[in-house]
Amino acid sequence: MAQEQQLQPWWPSDWTSKSAWLESAHRAARVLRRDVAHATPQQLRQAIDVASLLNPGPWGGDYSEVTCPEWSGAEVTWKERSEGTVVWVHGGAFAFGSPRVYRAAAVHLARASRCRVLLPSYRLAPEHPFPAAHDDVFQALESILSEGDEVVIVGDSAGGNLVLGALQKMSRQGDLSNVAGVALLSPWCDLRKEAESIRHNDVSHSPFDSEDSLAYSRQYLAGHPADDPLVSPILMKGSLPWPPVYMEWAEDEFLAPDVQLLRDQIRAAQPDFRQRTEPAAVHGWQTLPDVLPEGKRSSEALGAWVREKLGLPALR
């Protein structure tokens, strides 16, 4: 009986329910990652980078490294088509991710939009705490926008946080005229311990929880106040001169409460606003369009919106 009580937390609450099995799997993964393996950010980063090599994206995508004085990263095109420019700032809790990790997702977006997709790199925590990533992304976006072409900017999770921070800085300089649109995919927009996502802690369909969120927030901030609107853009005072905005999130994901609050703020300030949700999806599903049907749906919907905002005709 004692052994059965120890195993009880690992069992699905309903043996016939797919969602219950998924919840149990995520619970086990969190415990194994944190309490058994004691995986460091560097180890997780390396594992994710290695795994990404197995998925270069569909044939027809071209991936090339970019290195210039202002920024470095990668450029992705679909069959050498480049009808416009998208900049995708990757996520990863400020500690993981790279242009190579996002290669497959970028190829899918390039195919859906027929645009080149630029993937800037940025320095990662804990080796490089705030403001390293914010500075790198701001510099990359400033450089790309200075070329004069209209650009759509995409940011997911922590990448969405970095995009929102850069927009705040650029708006103070009156420099958003070339931003044709901003797409925020499940943005991590509140790094405070008082965040609604922390309070709700909805983890039934999440590989991470409030403990992870607080740990990676502290790691990146390294003592910097979490109530700075640059790092918690949910606290932005006043309204940005918002370009058209596209927001996407899963209704059951951990960050949903914060994203919905940000949605309300942006929608009140920018009539050209579009949202798209999935009823149930694991955070970061947009990066796996080769594997997850919801990832493919996301890529196709985002690609169509990108073309619309850049004034390109819809694809047949």
The CATH number of whichever domain residue 216 belongs to comes to 3.40.50.1820
In a domain, 114, yes or no: yes
The answer to whether residues 248 and 276 touch, using CB atoms and an 8 Å cutoff, is: yes
Q: What is the pLDDT of residue 47?
A: 80
Say how far apart CA 301 and CA 82 lie, in whole Å: 18
In a domain, 22, yes or no: no
In a domain, 208, yes or no: yes
Q: What is the pLDDT of residue 33?
A: 57
Q: What is the pLDDT of residue 170?
A: 94
pTM score over 0.85:
yes
In a domain, 27, yes or no: no
**Would you give per-residue pLDDT tens digits along the chain (316 residues)?**
333 333 345 454 555 545 554 555 555 555 555 554 567 788 888 888 888 777 788 888 999 999 999 999 999 999 988 999 999 999 999 999 999 999 999 999 999 999 999 999 999 999 999 999 999 999 999 999 999 999 999 999 999 999 999 999 999 887 899 999 999 999 999 999 999 999 998 777 777 788 889 999 999 999 999 999 999 999 998 778 899 999 999 999 999 999 999 999 999 999 999 999 999 898 899 999 998 999 999 999 999 999 999 999 999 8
The range of the structural domain enclosing residue 138 comes to 66-309
In sequence order, which residues have a C-beta less than 8 Å from that of residue 297 and are 6 or more positions away?
A: 278
Q: What is the pLDDT of residue 237?
A: 80
In a domain, 59, yes or no: no
In a domain, 314, yes or no: no
In a domain, 41, yes or no: no
Q: What is the pLDDT of residue 50?
A: 81
In a domain, 38, yes or no: no
Number of independent structural domains in the chain: 1
